[in-house]
């Protein structure tokens, strides 16, 4: 495994970081608890020291399972990255910005973006309890909240740093303008954003900005929720309540299939899977500090970790990039 310093902090994180969205269950068709815990154990045992989660993932379930999985482990060797700012339990009393209706057990649950000072402090206490720890390594706002001044949100994060409850503060899904506004109050460590072979929009602005300002980039959905594994084209039958049924419709699936067939020989030469090749390519892109990779079980977690076990030559990168242009 390779480790990198996150932005302007002294926080060392594993390049492949365990993304714990899917193990929360909601929106992913569910997952077995023991499989989820085993996936975290396998990640930690194979050099993946960082875990990214959020209260929203499973409405607290993801954080709870992480807390259970790391119990008895050396906490100083694990980096917990979690979030705040999506609330669903009515504690915001109608404040904030309506985001969408989530669904659990057939019931609609309104989710709001809400990042007031009081709400952040409350959320952090709840996260610490679920995670079974007394500090969070990186706390990130999950989505921008247009109803709360960014300065108020950053002041709350600064207070939490001073109190020792968080080591560093980051943002997620922020624009350059929002990052600049945040930095007026508190120098943020990173921005967590969507990025993949099929979605390279951040290369236009966020990548050059981050390189110039020594800010980290954490990328989610590098596998486009499993599409770039190639399994979707061979054997996978998604459950009816899996959100990916709609998500995949945005892509030209025939072109994606052709692209994967073109690059698969590179993976085979490395003794690697398509998933590992995609993760490795992503890790080598400019300004990318961390690549989030989800795992529902131990085997998937081990495969993700092994994505860093090989290199890619300039020629191989060029072959991949040339094939990408045809999508």
pLDDT in tens, 240-297: 666 676 788 788 888 999 999 999 999 999 999 999 999 999 999 999 999 999 998 9
Mean pLDDT for the chain overall: 93
226 confidence band (pLDDT: 50, 70, 90): confident
* 57 is an active site residue: yes
Q: How many angstroms separate the first and last alpha carbons of the chain? A: 31
Q: Which domains, and CATH codes, for the chain?
A: 3-228+286-305 (3.20.20.100)
pLDDT in tens, 74-118: 999 999 999 999 999 877 877 899 999 988 777 888 999 999 999
51 confidence band (pLDDT: 50, 70, 90): very high
Q: Which entry of 3, 57, 114, 247 is annotated as an active-site residue?
A: 57
Is residue 315 pLDDT above 50, yes or no? yes
Is residue 70 pLDDT above 60, yes or no? yes
Which has the minimum average pLDDT: 45-54, 103-112, 193-202?
A: 103-112
Contact present, 85 and 116 (Cβ < 8 Å): no
Burial class for 58, CB neighbours closer than 10 Å (0-12, 13-18, 19+)? buried
pLDDT of residue 327: 87
Full-prediction pTM beyond 0.85?
Answer: yes
Given the structure tokens 């995670």, which residue do they identify? 131
pLDDT in tens, 267-277: 999 999 999 99
Is residue 26 pLDDT above 70, yes or no? no
**DSSP helix/strand/coil, 127:** helix
Q: What are phi and psi of 5, to 5 degrees?
A: -80, 135
């Amino acid at each position: 495994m390779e480790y990198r310093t996150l932005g302007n902090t002294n926080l060392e994180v594993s390049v492949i970081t365990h993304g714990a969205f899917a193990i929360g269950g909601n929106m992913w068709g569910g997952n077995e608890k023991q499989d989820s815990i085993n996936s975290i154990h396998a990640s930690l045992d194979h050099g993946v020291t960082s875990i990214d989660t959020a209260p929203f993932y499973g409405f607290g379930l993801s954080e709870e399972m992480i807390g259970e999985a790391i119990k008895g482990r050396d906490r100083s060797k694990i980096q917990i990255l979690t979030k705040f700012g999506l609330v669903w339990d009515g504690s915001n009393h109608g404040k904030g910005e309506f985001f969408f209706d989530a669904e659990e057990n057939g019931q609609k649950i309104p989710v709001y973006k809400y990042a007031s000072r009081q709400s952040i402090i409350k959320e952090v206490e709840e996260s610490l309890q679920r995670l079974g720890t007394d500090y969070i390594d990186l706390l990130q706002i999950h989505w921008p909240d247009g109803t709360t001044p960014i300065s108020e949100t950053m002041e709350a994060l600064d207070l939490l740093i001073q109190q020792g409850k968080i080591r560093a503060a980051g943002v997620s899904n922020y624009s350059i303008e929002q990052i600049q506004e945040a930095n007026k109050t508190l120098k943020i460590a990173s921005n967590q954003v969507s990025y993949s072979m099929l979605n390279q929009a951040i290369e236009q602005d966020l990548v050059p900005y981050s390189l110039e300002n020594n800010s980290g980039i954490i990328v989610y959905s590098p596998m486009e929720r499993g599409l770039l594994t190639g399994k979707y084209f061979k054997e996978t039958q998604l459950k009816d309540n899996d959100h990916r049924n709609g998500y995949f419709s945005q892509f030209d699936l025939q072109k994606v299939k052709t692209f994967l067939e073109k690059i698969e020989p590179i993976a085979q030469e490395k003794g690697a899977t398509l998933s590992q090749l995609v993760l490795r390519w992503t890790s080598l892109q400019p300004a990318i500090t961390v690549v989030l990779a989800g795992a529902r079980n131990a085997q998937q977690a081990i495969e993700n970790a092994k994505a860093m076990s090989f290199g890619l030559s300039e020629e191989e990168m060029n072959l991949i990039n040339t094939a990408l242009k045809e999508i």
